[in-house]
Amino acid sequence: MSLQRCGIDAVNAALDTMQDGGEAVELVLAQKEVSDDQLNALLSRCEEMAVEVTYGSESDLWRMAIGTTPGSPPPLALALVGRDPTGDLSQVLARGGLVWMLAGAQYSSNVGYCIRMAEVSGADAILVAGDWSNSDRHQAVRAAMRTHRFLPVIWCGSPLDAVAQAKRAGMSVAGIEDVGDVEPWDSDLTGDLLLIIGGENEGIPADVLDACDSVIRIPMAGFTPSYNLQAPMAIVAVEALRQRRVE
């Protein structure tokens, strides 16, 4: 099930469901600087229901809307359902679901691409371990096309501490590394799960890898046994999405 509700009618229907005790609308993204009676009514309704509203440009909404085609007008509003985009480390881990962690990544652009991949694949959060300056974070957010607005992105210090905290919260922990003994499609990627991707050069730190409950291996057949870190993440993300759809 998509986390997005596209268009004013769909957003209103989601708000109706929320009022009836169903799935919550966590956030509404509305097109800025638009004068439209239906949109104004929707925004008033969001205010009455204490639903957060954020604003984006016409191109922003066109790019994000599911099913838009070249030449078609963008929707005036989109709604996020089924994922709380806020929370600190302890809150994110307590909620469970599928959480990613980057442990050892060195390049802001790669971090940004991984944030975007985690969001589009329906994950519940992504942790970025390590020491990152404000400038580094800003560059990562830009590379992620600001999808941090719709997914908790937690900048944490020690990846080993995050693993320990995830286990205390009842989550299973799996690393993705070429020393693994099980392929993604033979792994159980359902339930409350922390998936770890290592750095571009060193992979997952040895102490973090030792703390994992399992290690997933991505098959490789070439001469140079290495993928860019985004490739194994994409492979496992799609397989996790497939498994969790039929869970």
pLDDT tens, per residue, the chain with 247 residues? 689 999 999 999 999 999 999 999 999 999 999 999 999 999 999 999 999 999 999 999 999 998 888 888 999 999 999 999 999 999 999 999 999 999 999 999 999 999 999 999 999 999 999 999 999 999 999 999 999 999 999 999 999 999 999 999 999 999 999 999 999 999 999 999 999 999 998 899 999 999 999 999 999 898 887 888 899 999 999 999 999 986 5
Are both 241 and 121 inside the same structural domain? yes
Q: Report which of 40, 63, 49, 38 is spatially closest to residue 14, judged by C-alpha positions.
A: 49
123 backbone φψ class: left, alpha, beta (φ>0; ψ -120 to 50) = beta
* Residue 68 sits in the same domain as residue 112: no
Tell whether 100 and 56 lie within a shared domain: no
* DSSP class per residue in 95-109: H-SEEEEEES---HH
Looking at the fold, whether 133 and 172 belong to one and the same domain comes out as yes
Considering the domain architecture, whether residues 55 and 109 belong to the same structural domain is answered as no
Do both 111 and 213 map to the same domain?
yes
| Domain that includes residue 194, residue range | 89-245
Strands across the sheet containing 25-31: 4-6, 77-81, 25-31, 52-56
Tally of structural domains, the chain: 2
> Are 151 and 33 members of one domain?
no
